[in-house]
Amino acid sequence: MYTILLLNQKGGVGKTTIADELAFAFERRGMTVAFVSTDPQGGNVHEVCDDPDYAESCDFQIVDTAGVLKNGMDDWCRAADMILVPMLPSTRDVEP
């Protein structure tokens, strides 16, 4: 299983949208995807996987995170194979 984590402490930068689109792209190519969300706000299109055994058997695990840094996020970062940090292209959004 390859884990992709979408992370940014700022909300509204597209983490959930990118996570959903990545999952759709992998699924269209016949791969199995476990969609995990630590975001209490929700908003994702995919059903969230709550079964760690199923996630381990998938080709990819896509992890959508909340717009705030939470306890346990360092564990997710260590476990990820790739961390994507979406940003809006403005000077106000680069600093946070």
Q: Which helix (H) or strand (E) holds 28?
A: helix 15-28
Q: What is the mean pLDDT of the chain?
A: 88
From CA 63, how far away is CA 85, in angstroms rounded?
Answer: 12
The rounded percent of the chain whose pLDDT value lies above 70 is 93
What structural domains does the chain harbor?
2-87 (3.40.50.300)
Higher pLDDT, 50 or 92: 50
* Phi and psi at residue 25, to the nearest 5°: -65, -45
pLDDT of residue 96 exceeding 80, the answer is no
pTM value is 0.84
Place of tokens 């959930």: 16
From CA 7, how far away is CA 12, in angstroms rounded?
Answer: 12
